[in-house]
């Protein structure tokens, strides 16, 4: 059963919050491409490539990458993922978002052909539902606390507070949110590389009384010594995200215990196969791994949910950001009471609207 075509359709999902900001920029819509792989008998498998500048590929570039990668995919069967990954790497370096979408679509095709839910191909699910962490975009402290309270009322208990390297303002953000939500909420921060190592240590010590579970990418992604310093100087879990951009980078971070945890993202790592490889490396090194934000359609999140369900993840994952977007071209999953259920339908569990 060969794959006979690869098509990539643009997808734009406007955000509910037109003023969504983090330390790396402002975003008003989630853009990317839905990839459809079709086999001889007309079975379709889907994957999604988000346009995210810090992962390497922008919206305008993605169609060219798909065009370049198509010969590696068309003519193979959906069960030759390893061969396709090798061929794609031979045709084009980087391009992890496009390669990730193709890897996901091939996994989806396999599951649809075998008439199984995707997690059954990944070793089976370890849990039926996953707690969802929601991201709070940069705003004034009281505004962030108000949005957090609205999410808390919907059942969310895990929150990621975006911070930006402004010590007093960032501490005020964490304080306002803790005071508003009370003890039941789990709080994390994501600096998106905006601190120096020393400022990060100072910020974390000032935030300690508001109880943080985790601090994501406090320093520049290339500042491994600074990251190690923060990890050693604090008793909060320190997690790499932008610095954990490839399996190779994750291996360096994990084997040297530069961080306590890494954020796995399918588009960043080039798909399910690489994400699971990275998770195994972390496991062997005693470093935690969880699924980070999969910004875009339910399609992308569905793939990530199956991966999260098949791995031994012990913290909330960022698999519900689609709830703050409009015009999703896929349906089939939703966050209920702060949790997302692992789809049991055939394939990745979502279907085109």
Which residues lie below 8 Å from residue 155, measured CB to CB, with a gap of 6+?
Answer: 336, 337, 338, 339
- Edge-first strand listing for the sheet containing 335-336: 129-131, 339-341, 335-336
Compute the least distance from the CB of residue 46 to Mg ion, in Å: 25
Query: Candidates 80-88, 216-224, 294-302, 304-312 — which segment interacts with Mg ion by CB under 5 A?
Result: 216-224
Q: Which is nearer to Mg ion, 105 or 313 (CB)?
A: 313
- Write the CB contacts of 6 (distance below 8 Å, at least 6 apart in sequence): 35, 36, 37, 66, 69, 70, 73, 74, 102
* Residue closer to Mg ion (CB basis): 112 or 268: 268
Element (H, E) at 336: strand 335-336
Q: How far is the CB of 245 from Mg ion (least distance, A)?
A: 11
Q: Which is nearer to Mg ion, 23 or 346 (CB)?
A: 23
Least distance between Mg ion and beta carbon 193 (Å): 9
Query: Looking at beta carbons, which residue is closest to Mg ion?
Result: 241
Q: Is residue 321 a contact residue for Mg ion (CB under 5 A)?
A: no
Tokens of 100: 């990730």
Q: What is the spatial distance between Cα 258 and Cα 114, in angstroms, rounded to a whole number?
A: 41
Q: Choose which of 241, 249, 318, 328 interacts with Mg ion (CB under 5 A).
A: 241
Nearer to Mg ion, 109 or 307 (CB): 307
Binding mask 164-203 for Mg ion (x = CB under 5 A): --------------------------x-------------
Q: To the nearest whole angstrom, how small is the minimum distance from the Cβ of residue 103 to Mg ion?
A: 21
Q: Give me the least distance between CB of 239 and Mg ion, in Å please.
A: 8
**What is the closest distance, in whole angstroms, from the C-beta atom of residue 325 to Mg ion in the complex?**
18
- Which C-beta is closer to Mg ion: that of 213 or that of 216? 216
Residue 65 vs 241, nearer CB to Mg ion: 241
Q: Contacts from 76-83 at CB under 8 Å and sequence distance 24+?
A: 76/2, 76/3, 77/1, 77/2, 77/3, 78/1, 78/3, 78/37, 78/39, 78/45, 78/106, 78/109, 78/110, 78/113, 79/110, 81/106, 81/107, 81/110, 81/273, 82/273
Q: At what angle do helices 96-114 and 272-285 cross, to 10 degrees?
A: 100
Q: Report the distance separating Cα 100 and Cα 35, nearest Å.
A: 10
Give the nearer residue to Mg ion in terms of CB position, either 108 or 190: 190
**In the bound complex, what is the minimum distance in angstroms from residue 261's beta carbon to Mg ion?**
12
Footprint of Mg ion (CB under 5 A): 190, 216, 241
């Amino acid at each position: 059963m060969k794959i006979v075509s690869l098509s990539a359709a643009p997808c734009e999902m406007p955000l509910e919050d037109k003023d969504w900001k983090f330390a790396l920029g402002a975003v008003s819509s989630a853009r990317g491409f839905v990839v459809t792989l079709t086999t001889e008998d007309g079975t379709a498998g889907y994957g999604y490539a988000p346009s995210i500048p810090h992962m390497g590929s922008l919206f305008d570039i993605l169609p060219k990458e798909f065009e370049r990668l198509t010969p590696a995919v068309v003519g193979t069967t959906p069960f030759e993922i390893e061969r396709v990954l090798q061929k794609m790497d031979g045709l084009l370096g980087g391009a992890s978002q496009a390669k990730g979408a193709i890897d996901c679509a091939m996994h989806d095709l396999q599951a649809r052909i075998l008439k199984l839910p995707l997690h059954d191909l990944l070793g089976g699910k370890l849990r039926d539902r996953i707690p969802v962490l929601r991201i709070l975009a940069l705003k004034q402290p009281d505004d962030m606390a108000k949005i957090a309270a609205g999410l808390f009322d919907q059942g969310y208990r895990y929150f990621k507070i975006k911070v930006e390297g402004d010590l007093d303002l960032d501490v005020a953000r964490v304080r306002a949110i803790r005071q508003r939500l009370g003890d039941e909420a789990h709080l994390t921060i994501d600096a998106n590389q905006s601190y120096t190592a020393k400022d990060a240590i100072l910020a974390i010590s000032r935030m300690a009384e508001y109880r943080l579970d985790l601090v994501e990418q406090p320093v520049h992604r290339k500042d491994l010594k600074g990251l190690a310093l923060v990890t050693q100087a604090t008793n909060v879990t320190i997690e790499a995200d932008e610095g954990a951009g490839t399996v190779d980078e994750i291996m360096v971070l994990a084997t040297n215990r530069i961080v306590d945890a890494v954020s796995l993202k399918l588009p960043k790592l080039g798909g399910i196969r690489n994400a699971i490889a990275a998770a195994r490396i972390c496991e062997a090194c005693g470093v935690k791994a969880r699924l980070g934000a999969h910004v875009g359609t339910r399609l992308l999140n569905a793939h990530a949910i199956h991966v999260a369900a098949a791995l031994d993840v012990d913290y909330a994952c960022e698999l519900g950001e689609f709830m703050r977007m409009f015009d999703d071209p896929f349906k089939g999953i939703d966050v209920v009471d702060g949790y997302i259920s692992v789809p049991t339908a055939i394939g990745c569990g979502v279907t085109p609207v």
